[in-house]
Amino acid sequence: MQYTEIMVRYGELSTKGKNKRVFIQQLVKNVSNVLRDIDGIKIKGNDDRMHIHLNGADFAVINERLKKVFGIQTFSPVVRVEKEMSVINATAQEMMREVYTGIETFKVASKRQDHKFELDTYGLNLAVGNAIFDIFPDIKVQMKKPDIELRVDIRSDGAYLSHQVIKGASGYPVGVNSDLAHLMLSGGIDSPVAGYLMLKRGVNIEAVHFASPPYTSPESLEKTKNLTRILSEYSGSSIQFIEVPFTKIQEEIKKHADDGYQMTLTRRMMLRCIDRIRAERGGSLIVNGESLGQVASQTVQSMVAINEVTNTPIIRPVVTMDKTEIIELAERIGTFEMSIQPFEDCCTIFAPKQPKTRPQLDKVHKFESYLDIDALVDEACAGITITPISAATKVEDDEFDDLF
């Protein structure tokens, strides 16, 4: 069936007035962005709905991309035809031939904005229903929760028919507010999910990764870039990937701090670096993938010790989630397979055998007094490299494929 347009219903549009306009404008922009390589389509954001006119474009490709755009509650591919009963019936029959396999129940649900139309909704339901019985005499009607709901909508400019309501990603369109968050992105399972959830709130992100070559491998870095590429499918535009050289800091910590305190010191140094980068790049938030109680560094006492180095809000979108819940979400958004590739990151390699679950601040301060913190942070931040990564970016894929 060649659909003529896609009708998009907005997500959390409880906001009114100016905010609503900003929401719709941003959503139109993001949808245009993810569909920009598809010829012929035209996008119109009305107050109540968005219309994507297909002009012959293939719905299947657009379907997959739209599902990843935040701010969309549901969408339906529709066919617009003349307001002529013979045409409406024939289109309804064609649609049912495509979806009915002999077992589904159905109903016709009509709406009429154009009150001059020859039939009212009751008459429309009956007429279209009869057209379906003509081709499938044994089909069963069910009023409550039918398998197939055939919608017929009579409007001023034509009759619209559809049978699918596809669930969107909900949330807010990315970029709807001017905040920018800096995501601490490791190669693990949790932080990409945290990034996804932040994007879902409409907040743009930049990914910051601490790499410690030669202890960490180039593959580990590529893996993290690949995770950024997957996240960029949800952001609708490229994500800046910021690599921070972290080797020297880790070596210094290893040299000067007791084993049990190395994790705390490492996290504090990461936070100092990312906070500097955030400030320079105009960000207002830091996001990480910590989940309460998951590992030793993720106790409340540990968070207190780590947080001490900054006043910047640190958002932990997965803090209350079980590991299994995080994994489920990672699978759904497509990051899980990439996250479980076995390349070690800096924390795995330098991880102490028994990190303190209740780090004492006076001890933390004592170990840090052996480090030239400012110089270390200066040097790491001066050495960052920034790469824009988008859904179209191929991250060294030939090389990477061989490793799987």
Q: Does residue 186 bind ligand ATP (CB under 6 A)?
A: yes
Closer to ligand ATP by Cβ: residue 124 or 326: 326
Closer to ligand ATP by Cβ: residue 56 or 313: 313
How many C-beta atoms surround the C-beta of residue 262 within 10 A?
22
Order of strands across the sheet with 285-287?
Answer: 314-315, 285-287, 180-184, 204-211, 239-245, 385-389
Choosing from 148, 184, 205, 231, the residue that interacts with ligand ATP (CB under 6 A) is: 184
Q: Does residue 239 bind ligand ATP (CB under 6 A)?
A: no
Run of H or E including 154: strand 148-155
Indicate the burial class of 372 (C-beta count within 10 angstroms; 0-12, 13-18, 19 or more). exposed
Q: Does residue 262 bind ligand ATP (CB under 6 A)?
A: no
Binding residues for Mg ion, how many (CB under 5 A)?
Answer: 2
Q: Does residue 243 bind ligand ATP (CB under 6 A)?
A: no
Q: Is 262 helix (H, G, I), strand (E, B) or coil?
A: helix
Q: Does residue 188 bind Mg ion (CB under 5 A)?
A: yes
Measured from the CB of residue 176, what is the shortest distance to Mg ion in angstroms? 30
Q: Considering only the stretches 102-110, 112-120, 189-197, 382-390, report the one whose residues sit in contact with ligand ATP under the rule CB under 6 A.
A: 189-197
Q: Does residue 206 bind ligand ATP (CB under 6 A)?
A: no
Q: Does residue 315 bind ligand ATP (CB under 6 A)?
A: no
139, two tokens = 């089909």
How many C-beta atoms surround the C-beta of residue 188 within 10 A?
20
Q: Does residue 230 bind ligand ATP (CB under 6 A)?
A: no
Q: Nearest Cα to 8, choosing from 38, 56, 41, 40?
A: 41
What residues numbered 323-382 form the site for ligand ATP, per CB under 6 A? 345-347
Q: Considering only the stretches 178-186, 215-223, 258-266, 370-378, report the one whose residues sit in contact with Mg ion under the rule CB under 5 A.
A: 178-186
Question: Which 8-state DSSP code applies to residue 358?
Answer: S
Q: Considering only the stretches 162-170, 181-189, 254-262, 313-321, report the one whose residues sit in contact with Mg ion under the rule CB under 5 A.
A: 181-189
Q: Does residue 299 bind ligand ATP (CB under 6 A)?
A: no
Cα 220 to the center of its chain, rounded Å: 22
Burial 327-360 (b: 16+ CB within 10 A, else e): bebbeebbbbebbebebbbbbeebbbeebbbebe
Choosing from 89, 125, 186, 262, the residue that interacts with Mg ion (CB under 5 A) is: 186
Query: Residue 294's binding partner, choosing from ligand ATP, Mg ion, none, with beta-carbon cut-off 5 to 8 A by kind?
Result: ligand ATP
Q: Does residue 204 bind Mg ion (CB under 5 A)?
A: no
Residues 216, 349 contacting (CB under 8 angstroms)? yes
Query: Residue 335's binding partner, choosing from Mg ion, ligand ATP, none, with beta-carbon cut-off 5 to 8 A by kind?
Result: none
Question: Which residue number is nearest to ligand ATP in terms of Cβ?
Answer: 188
Question: Which 8-state DSSP code applies to residue 298?
Answer: G
Sign of the four-CA dihedral 65, 71, 75, 81: negative
Choosing from 26, 191, 232, 262, the residue that interacts with ligand ATP (CB under 6 A) is: 191
How many C-beta atoms surround the C-beta of residue 57 within 10 A?
19
Choosing from 110, 125, 204, 297, the residue that interacts with ligand ATP (CB under 6 A) is: 297
Judged by the rule CB under 6 A, the positions of this chain that interact with ligand ATP are 184-186, 188-191, 208-210, 288-290, 294-295, 297-298, 345-347
Which residues in this chain contact Mg ion in the complex, by CB under 5 A?
186, 188
